[in-house]
Amino acid sequence: MTITVGTDTAKTRRDLTVGGSTVAYYSIPAAEAAGLGDFSRLPAALKVVLENMLRFEDGKTVTVDDIKAFADWAKQGGKNPREIAYRPARVLMQDFTGVPAVVDLAAMRDGIVALGGDPEKINPLNPVDLVIDHSVMIDEFGNPRAFQMNVDREYERNIERYTFLKWGQNAFNNFRVVPPGTGICHQVNLEYLAQTVWTDTDQNGTEVAYPDTLVGTDSHTTMVNGAAVLGWGVGGIEAEAAMLGQPISMLIPEVVGFELTGAMVEGTTGTDLVLKVVEMLREKGVVGKFVEFFGAGLDNLPLADRATIANMAPEYGATCGFFPIDDETLRYLRNTGRDEARIALVEAYAKENGFWRDADYAPVYTDTLRLDMGTIVPAISGPKRPQDYIALDSAGTAFGDYVKGVRAGVDASKKAEVRWEGEGGAPEPQDIPGDEGHHKRGYVKTEDGHYQLHDGSIVIASITSCTNTSNPYVMIGAGLVARKARELGLNRKPWVKTSLAPGSQVVSAYLEAAGLQDDLDAIGFNLVGYGCTTCIGNSGPLEEEISKAINDYDLIATSVLSGNRNFEGRISPDVRANYLASPPLVVAYALVGDMNVDLAKEPIGQDKNGNDVYLKDIWPTSKEVADLVEATVTREAFQEKYADVFKGDEKWQAVETTDSLTYDWPASSTYVQNPPYFQGMTMETGTISDVKDAKVLALLGDMVTTDHISPAGSFKDTTPAGQYLVDRQVPVREFNSYGSRRGNHEVMMRGTFANIRIRNEMLDGVEGGYTKGPDGAQTSIFDAAMAYKEAGTPLVVVAGEQYGAGSSRDWAAKGTALLGVKAVIAESFERIHRSNLVGMGVIPFEFTGGDTRKTLKLTGEETFSISGLEGDLKPLSDVPCTITYADGATKEITLKCRIDTAVEIEYIENGGVLHYVLRNLARAS
């Protein structure tokens, strides 16, 4: 690939010779010598952005004043929210978000042809890697056949999508696909794709070195910040613009410094540390900010643990959680098989250009926090938010309190106790710790016999997700817990669905080398696939009898997973309470099968001789873990597993596709359809219009996540999306998941705002995707939106704080736009979703002056008119809004228009960012 750099290069461009090779680079010390400012005390994370300004300074998109603003940032104590144009080096995608992105690119090729342009103008200008990791579902588990059967089923379900992606790999330049069964995108990125310092040739043919940077269509792109690669998640819409050469418009961020001191103590894991970090940073409030970790404690923190902390930046709300380059960075690059010449370049470049962390590293930060790692204790997080930190010795009590809250006001006699009446009867009800009349119970009979389920029964225990499966210390730890449990004769409880879904094939290599996979298999943690699985809702169905008991008896079933997300309705439609835990604790909870048990104090089971076994009896020492990591996690394993990473297995190689510049959209496909965004589009740019007499589609509370908004997980035939597929003769067994159907806007718009746990405050006590239609009767969100659309009535959504938190789901914005929503009015927005709304032409607004949906006594019966948008609208303007209540009374309020930058105004004027790009490319061609 060729990069285009700025034209004024003389001031800051220098040469660097490493191992006999010379590369050009853009020097921050040279910028200081040229009088552009003092950058010496900038955090390393911000120096990466500064280097980007130096490299692309052209006097137009990036100016000298943009560069000087970074010096002012340091002078002003870490604050200078100047708008800048930032260009990441590359883009990372996974298939759930990648399929709709490639769909949009294919549709843009059709669109540019319709406008009289050249389809070859629609190509990624920056390298794009798409890793297929979101499609494997846990249908089969707990046996040696699980992996192969799940892979076979994955191809059966997704062959239309895989055919389309393989077409895209051939049709587009700078676009590579990592086939199914390889690993999770963030782990593949960390272990193989990322280089920490990137190199490319510029337009003059000179090789240039610069920091490795990226954006990704998944919020956990932040994981690679653990290796000093600046990256964060963006919506698919923003990523498409970036890959088409558009700079990312952003404000110079505040940088919160998080000082780590001390060292982890015996019995704790990196997961325990990150759960505490999430709690602290979420309480601090770091939305829209960079977080950079520093301090002497980093000398005791392996890169795997750093990556775990960086991975969960979306959970603590930050744009990224960055770790500077140091000796540990080099050690990790070497151990994961990177080329020695690259490692030498990383060290030389970092030291030469001021990116190296040593004992004297002391930058200016906007604000700071401090944590002594020696105070960390074992912990979990839940039942429905990652920041809901619970020390392990309080977990049982905390769950009991949660159940009491859920059951408050419920008729205690209703289905309070149910007996299995089948053959052989069932045992008498057992006492449940902390029962006190609040727990419900049910009996289940399966091939494993009959047993009692109750509030707190753990029905899913999954070692899954990039967050922890990238960390050999916790994965080896999980294997050792399984080994010790197996030796004592312990096994998973029969009602627990267990699974192991590593983030890369390297994990399997070292678990097998250590002999630990056999131990994991023995207690039900067989390999089910290489992908995200449970953490994104691909947990697969529970046994029919278990699912029926949970739903018939209204039980609060639970899951424990080593992931990063536990929002309501995400993991399984049958599971209400979800807990995040380290992989070793996931194994321990599978042995217990009950969230009411206090793992820190109570027995987790009995050994072969009937003796009580406690957690401490099966927990490995730090030395045991470290010794096995040292012996089995080898450079050679990484080099072997990534040698043919883009080749794929025989199944992938057998996928057939066509060779054409534009895609021949199959009319009968229920997976991939040509979206309506560019149909009928002209070269004329529109204007921003006031919102007039808009009705409320949904009135929502605080912390409504993109999981609540965007279609995710499984769905039933009774839903609008299910009905759409039934009407097209798709059997329920073939529904797959919303995520797999993100390439079909008809399915996705029907599933928007349809999460089973979303609560529309327009309705009393109703969960799910319902609202009031134009006639005032309860109906589905989709049907109401279509009725309003037919009547020509614009719509708004009203919400509370942190609207759009969570994953970077572009369909949360796309679906909102396709339903006819013109504006979203909330108390505050999370970063990615706000940007995505703008990218789809939906205007975000925030309440001001202490107004909220509650203080305004909104019921959803109101009409909203927002003015001040037409004419010369400025970024972040305050605009007037008139609320007309059902009784005819009116109230004037002021809203802040969250179109944050000048270029975003242009996006809205064009109808969205892709329309903006398409018109520009059509003009150029």
**Helix (H) and strand (E) counts for the chain?**
31, 35
Provide the pLDDT for residue 100: 87
Provide the pLDDT for residue 429: 41
pTM comes to 0.82
The tens digit of pLDDT for each residue in 708-763 reads: 999 877 788 999 999 999 999 999 988 888 878 889 999 999 999 998 889 999 99
> For 441-445, what is the mean pLDDT?
56
Tokens of 59: 């006097």
Contact indicator for 219, 184 with CB cutoff of 8 Å: no
**DSSP letter for each residue of 197-230:** EEEEEETTS-EEEEE-EEEESSGGGGGGGGGT-E
CATH superfamily of 691-924: Aconitase, domain 4 (3.20.19.10)
Provide the pLDDT for residue 385: 87
Provide the pLDDT for residue 244: 84
Is the pLDDT at 154 greater than 80, yes or no? Answer: yes
Is the pLDDT at 510 greater than 50, yes or no? Answer: yes
> For 665-686, what is the mean pLDDT?
90
Domain layout of the chain by residue ranges: 90-375, 392-633, 691-924
Is the pLDDT at 468 greater than 80, yes or no? Answer: yes
Cβ–Cβ contacts within 10 Å for residue 331, how many? 13
Q: Output b/e per residue, 291-311; b: 16+ Cβ within 10 A.
A: bbbbbebbeebbbbbbbbbbb
Provide the pLDDT for residue 427: 39
Q: What share of the chain is helix, strand, coil (3-state, %, to 5)?
A: 35, 20, 45
Whether 90-375 and 691-924 share one fold: the answer is no
The tens digit of pLDDT for each residue in 367-383 reads: 999 999 999 999 999 99
Provide the pLDDT for residue 428: 42
The tens digit of pLDDT for each residue in 116-133 reads: 889 988 999 899 999 998
Q: Output b/e per residue, 866-898; b: 16+ Cβ within 10 A.
A: beebeeebeeeeebebbbeeeeeeeeebebebb
Q: Which of 418-422, 517-521, 858-862 has the lowest mean pLDDT?
A: 418-422
Give the alpha-carbon dihedral of 468, 473, 474, 478, to 10 degrees.
Answer: 140
> For 101-108, what is the mean pLDDT?
92
Cα–Cα distances in Å, from 218 out to 222, 378, 538?
Answer: 9, 28, 16
Question: Using 50, 70 and 90 to split pLDDT, how confident is the model at 414?
Answer: very low
Whole-number CA gyration radius for the chain: 27
The tens digit of pLDDT for each residue in 256-285 reads: 999 999 999 999 999 999 999 999 999 999
Is the pLDDT at 308 greater than 90, yes or no? Answer: yes
Give me the residues paired with residue 878 across strands: 896
Sign (positive/negative) of CA torsion 900, 905, 911, 913? negative
* Whether domain 392-633 has CATH 3.30.499.10: yes
Distance CA 530, CA 151 (A): 9
* Whether domain 90-375 has CATH 3.30.499.10: yes
Q: Which of 135-139, 644-648, 745-749 has the lowest mean pLDDT?
A: 135-139
Is the pLDDT at 437 greater than 60, yes or no? Answer: no
Question: Using 50, 70 and 90 to split pLDDT, how confident is the model at 3?
Answer: low
Distance CA 649, CA 813 (A): 35
Provide the pLDDT for residue 204: 84
Cβ–Cβ contacts within 10 Å for residue 406, how many? 16
Mean pLDDT, the chain, whole residue set: 90
